[in-house]
Structure 1
């Protein structure tokens, strides 16, 4: 998606330069700017991360900027600051988002950092494993289990990750992991 107006170009440039108030005003007036791509197919979050603007990147994430894109946003965020467990307004971390979307590449980067809290719940009590199971992301479930994700943690509905899926392959994998 190439930006249709000059505001989207301005928000990308302002994000790179760390002009927090300007970006905040534009995004609050038009939240579509969070997902708008510039000519190089990058979002404002990418440019905020490239510029090393942690507070601005946090604002963008909290207001819905996706962190599970297939580009290098995760790498940039990890290189510029150490808080890979930053939570959005729903309590989800980058690992929650990547697991629910089955973004194996982003998950691998996050998990390799050894700083990632693999069992942290979001505001609904769901861990990344709950979400990977619910969305039937077999490879995401496999990665989380290999890294020691807790399989019996219950969410606010009282469900464990295995209770969130109807996928037989995931259920089999989870049972094998418990042995």
Structure 2
């Protein structure tokens, strides 16, 4: 690059381009064409997922290196249309990942009540637990997701279940200072006693 000064002299730019420095792109950025079905589910790209499972239906419940299925990724990222689509196509909401994560726990942790309600319609274990004793209810309480907690309680979530840390849902709400959550759980206990 050359710059002309007032005197007509030519000054050469000392700024190097990336190519001159030897910095060239060696890996192309990911495009929708080369994302896995799990990544596509997390992105909510129904058209691409549909194309993949049309070609190979076994991908519907395939597990990635962590054991997550496309449904788990959709649940974790709050992709409600994707979750509905996968369940309609036959995705198994009862599958556990390597550390016993499940779609219900992932949706509960994210506060995605619509997905929680959809998954609960598929007769999943509302009290399933992961490697550290976390249940969907405990994850929803920890995230202060009252609507998720209400949905889980309506479906029989065990309010007395304790994680490996020793926290029950109500003890966790108290410890985190979630007064509204604490009242919700206390009211639920009172209703059970009536």
Q: What TM-score do you get using the length of structure 1 for normalisation?
A: 0.71
What is the deviation of 1:99? 0.6
Equivalence for 2:181: 170
Q: Unaligned 5+ residue runs, structure 2?
A: 1-26
2:119 alignment partner, one of 100, 110, 115: 110
CA distance in 1, matches of 2:120, 2:95: 14
Q: Per the alignment, do residues 148 and 36 of structure 1 end up closer, same or farther by CA in structure 2, a change over 3 Å counting? A: closer
Equivalence for 2:74: 67
**Contact 1:61 1:67 (C-alpha < 8 Å) held by counterparts:** no
**Contact 2:144 2:181 (C-alpha < 8 Å) held by counterparts:** yes
Q: Per the alignment, do residues 169 and 36 of structure 1 end up closer, same or farther by CA in structure 2, a change over 3 Å counting? A: closer
Structure 1 residue 127 and structure 2 residue 138: aligned? Answer: no
Q: Per the alignment, do residues 49 and 121 of structure 1 end up closer, same or farther by CA in structure 2, a change over 3 Å counting? A: farther
Equivalence for 2:31: 8
What is the deviation of 1:168? 0.9
Larger radius of gyration: 2
Q: What CA deviation, in whole Å up to 9, does each residue of 1:65-88 have, x standing for no partner? A: 622233422222222336211122
Q: Per the alignment, do residues 48 and 140 of structure 1 end up closer, same or farther by CA in structure 2, a change over 3 Å counting? A: farther
Query: What's the C-alpha RMSD, in Å, of the aligned pairs?
Result: 3.3
Equivalence for 1:139: 147
Q: What TM-score do you get using the length of structure 2 for normalisation?
A: 0.66
Ranked by relative contact order (alpha carbons within 8 Å, sequence separation 6 or more), the top structure is 1
What is the deviation of 1:178? 1.0
CA distance in 2, matches of 1:146, 1:135: 18
Q: Unaligned 5+ residue runs, structure 1?
A: 16-26, 28-32
**Contact 2:42 2:79 (C-alpha < 8 Å) held by counterparts:** no
